[in-house]
Amino acid sequence: MNDGEAWRMPQYGAEHGSALLVIVLVSVLCILLARRSQDTAAVERAARTCGWALLVVSTVWTVWALLPMNWILQESLPFHFSDASRFLAAIALITRSRWSIAILYYWGLTLNLQSILTPDLNYLYFEALEYLMYWLLHGAVLIAPIVLVWGLGYRPTWRGYAAALAATGLWAGNAYVVNVLTGANYSYVSGGPKGSSLLDVLGEWPIYLLSVAGLMIVVWGLMTWPWERRRTTNPTSRADRFGLVHRAGHHARTPADASGQLAPQR
């Protein structure tokens, strides 16, 4: 731990490759089950159950890091994007609140994906437990938006895109203030991770912050455009009063809407 290398999981080794394989297989399985099921209500109940499980596990893991025996000022506070994303995923699965789905779509499939492709996993105390929790939580945050969008038909909009950009700026700003006060590097807004990552090719700090912002604006825009383009030809219903998310195709109406009344807005 003194060198910072002996306790870090190597990228693209057997441990990393095994985790990637499991995540891909589970993602494909979840999509197939969600899309082939004729009972949308059953799929939503299963998603809600998974959301509650994720919420419990995320809460326990956050508290675990704050215990005196595990406390490290530069590591234990929940100010990484991954810390917020796991609770965001739980909220989206449990409540289907449209703001959480909108933000999770972008964070889960880009910021969280970087943590999966170029993990910065430091083993501090219990290697097996920390390995399991890292991949369980990051995998869940990737799979949740995949199921919600490609399985249950929720579609992000330009308003959802704008909300995600605003939420990202707000979270990054909060993390930077915490970093200034503690000397930490939460959310990597004060420097890049010690391991290899996309940030390595985006310039030195603080230049890479501008590069990342530009990439998010472009990439997230490209992630939104196909859904908005298809909405002009495919049936959707506005899923919330602010238009952050729409719901497509046969998913646009749920059993709760069968009476002709709109489902409660969140």
User: Considering the entire predicted model, what is its pTM?
Assistant: 0.88
- Asked if the model's pLDDT at residue 260 lies above 50, the reply is no
Q: Quick: pLDDT tens for 112-131.
A: 999 999 998 888 778 899 99
Indicate the pLDDT class of residue 241, thresholds 50, 70 and 90.
confident
pLDDT tens for each residue of 1-49: 444 444 788 899 999 999 999 999 999 999 999 888 888 889 999 999 9
Residue 265 pLDDT > 60:
no
**In the prediction, which pLDDT does 255 show?**
39
Query: What is the edge-to-edge ordering of all strands in the sheet holding 236-238?
Result: 154-156, 245-248, 236-238
Instruction: Please give, one letter per residue, the 3-state secondary structure of the chain.
Output: CCCCCCCECCCCCHHHHHHHHHHHHHHHHHHHHHHHCCCHHHHHHHHHHHHHHHHHHHHHHHHHHHCCCCCCHHHHCCCCHHHHHHHHHHHHHHHCCHHHHHHHHHHHHHHHHHHHHCCCCECCCCHHHHHHHHHHHHHHHHHHHHHHHHHCCEEECHHHHHHHHHHHHHHHHHHHHHHHHHCCCHHHCCCCCCCCCHHHHCCCCCHHHHHHHHHHHHHHHHHHHHHHHHHCCCCEEECCCCCCEEEEHHHHCCHHHCCCCCCCCC
pLDDT of the residue at 74: 87
Predicted confidence (pLDDT) at residue 252 exceeds the cutoff of 60: no
Model confidence pLDDT, tens digit, residues 65-115: 999 998 999 889 999 999 999 999 999 999 999 999 999 999 999 999 999
- Residue 232 vs residue 202, higher pLDDT: 202
